[in-house]
Amino acid sequence: MNPELAGYIRRRSEALERIRRMLSVCLKLQGDPRQIDPDTALFGTGLGIDSLDAVEIVVAMEIEFGISLADPILRRSSLRSVNGLVDLVLAGGDGPNV
Amino acid sequence: MSSLEAASWAIRTANAVTRLEHVRAVRLAGPGAQDTLDALTTSRLFLREGQMLHTLMLEPGGSILADAFLCLDEEAWIFLWEGPSLEELLVHLEAVRSEVKAAEISVVDLLAGHVLWSLDGPYAWELCSALLGPEVLGAPYLSFLQLQGVTCFRAGKTGEYGYLLLVPRERLEGTWARLRELGEGLGLVEASLPALDQCALENWHFTLRALESFSRASTLTPAELQLRWRVDLAKEFVGARALREHVARGIAERVTCFVSPRAILPEQQIHLDGVAVGSVLQVGWSPVRKDWVGWGLIDLGLAWPGIGQFRVSTAEGDVPIETRSPPLLDNRSLFVDPRRHCYATRADDGFPPLVSR
């Protein structure tokens, strides 16, 4: 594997672990955070968060990563899945890194 | 525009109705119903009256047997599922009931007297409330209610507003005619199951049909399929022991979403730097995105979104694919608010594009 790809996977994996721990605390999830699959949806099916949970996550993203989700379109796009939040972290808050 | 393309656009921008002949529905009651369903399904049965649970049934080895909704309706349960036939389910149900020594249950085949339709689209709430009444608008996701003799389940697998309607057969013709009449002004199109499945693929909604073309489907558990949110490994159910052992050993592959500029097929190998690292599980043309959307089963260490170096080997040569974080659309339903928007004003409502990446 080339070093650039290996570095990307390492950064992505580290960001995912931090997001999982953050979600586990915010949502008071039972069990091992590593069992949260990365493409799990946040709303509806998946983790089944509600609008109050979403506010908690927005605040936690700001505290944990310094990322503001003030833009409503970016907020709706990023708060769709665990990996959506990871994309946001890797992009430094500017949107998906793909 | 093909019918599949027209249906995809209707699901993404207006309204679509689909006759769900692949979904089965029973009503279970009796003192043994809860214990039997608890042993049959993978999720924790924590439901209030009028709520639905999106769950699974597993084979004893841990692979997926059925994709199901479980609904608590007064003293009974409504069970909607895709997978085994009614006869197969009844045999399985009785075996599980006997195994867990649950009391008697009664089972009524709801489709003997009803049909099931799906309404999907960013304005499905508008059509459904015009058909059944304004109560539809207050129904939260994964809830259900009885309106005008129709059971309306607020659920769907397209990423848009979705409703499943269980319609009594004696009211079928009149309800269908009324639906089509109301739908004329709301962009209603009749959609096929392949159109629903394509939308599910784009939005990362699991369907059993995503596994149909994959020869190793029977080796895939909820862990590889990223469906662990539907599984409570702390409870006992059919397949729990095998799944617990499988997860404890550690999975080797994970299903990951990708996009492709050219046609590829299920089962074709995914490579990275000339080394086989996975296989295409399912893929389909997205009329809305204008590219191919698929799910690949990729070695765990590489099963990450945002990687553009993968290649799929085809008879016409290698095709580049790029893994992505699903959903792959900015669904219109994310931005349509029934309190402020309606189908008639859609052109002036300034929604963001469906595809931003």
Which residue did the predictor score with more confidence, A71 or B52? B52
Chain-chain contact of A39 with B226 (C-beta, under 8 angstroms): yes
Q: Are the Cβ atoms of B229 and A36 closer than 8 angstroms?
A: yes
pLDDT score, position B91: 97
Nearest to A40 among B229, B257, B302 (CB): B229
C-alpha distance from B155 to closest chain A C-alpha (Å): 9
- pLDDT value of residue A94: 54
CA distance to partner chain B, nearest, from residue A62 (Å): 21
pLDDT in tens, A22-36: 999 999 998 899 999
Predicted confidence (pLDDT) per residue in A36-58, tens digit: 999 999 998 889 898 899 999 99
A5/B142 touch (CB, cutoff 8 Å), yes or no:
no
Assess whether pLDDT exceeds 70 at residue A98.
Answer: no
Structure tokens, B249: 């050993």
- ipTM of the complex, rounded to two decimals: 0.93
For B19, residues 6+ apart whose C-beta sits below 8 A from its C-beta are B115, B116, B117, B190
Q: Are B189 and B1 in contact (CB under 8 A)?
A: no
CA distance B236 to B85: 24
| Local confidence band at A72 (pLDDT 50, 70, 90 cut-offs) | confident
A45 contacts B229? CB cut-off 8 A: yes
CATH class (in words) of the domain with range A3-91: mainly alpha
Q: Give per-residue pLDDT as tens, B297-350.
A: 999 999 999 999 999 999 999 999 999 999 999 999 999 999 999 999 999 999
Q: Which strands, in side-by-side order, build the sheet including B144-147?
A: B144-147, B150-153, B162-168, B114-120, B15-19, B188-190
Q: Which helix (H) or strand (E) holds B340?
A: none
Give burial (CB, 10 Å; 0-12/13-18/19+) of B40. buried
Q: Work out the minimum CA distance from B224 to partner chain A, whole angstroms.
A: 9
Q: Take residue A48 and report the two structure tokens written for it.
A: 């089944």
The list of chain B residues with pLDDT below 50 reads none
Do A73 and B54 count as a contact with CB atoms less than 8 A apart? Answer: no
| Inter-chain residue contact A44 with B302, CB threshold 8 Å | no
Cα–chain center distance at A18 = 8
Nearest CA in chain A to B69: A45
On chain A, the residues whose CB falls within 8 A of the CB of B227 are 37
Alpha-carbon span B353 to A73, nearest angstrom: 11
Q: Are B245 and B306 in contact (CB under 8 A)?
A: no
Q: Is A33 on the interface with B (CB under 8 A)?
A: no
Of A13, A45, A81, the CB nearest to B325: A81
**Which residue does chain A place closest to B331, by CA atoms?**
A77
Give yes or no for A76 touching B (CB within 8 A).
yes
pTM for the full model? 0.95
SS3 readout for B170-226: HHHHHHHHHHHHHHHHHCEEECCHHHHHHHHHHCCCCCHHHHCCCCCHHHCCCCCCC
Percentage of residues in chain A having pLDDT higher than 90: 67
Closest approach of A60 to chain B, Cα-based (Å): 21
Find the Cα–Cα–Cα–Cα dihedral B23, B24, B30, B34, rounded to 10°: -30
Cβ pair B228:A97 closer than 8 A:
no
> What is the rounded average pLDDT for all residues in chain A?
89
Per-residue confidence (pLDDT) for residue A97, from 0 to 100? 37
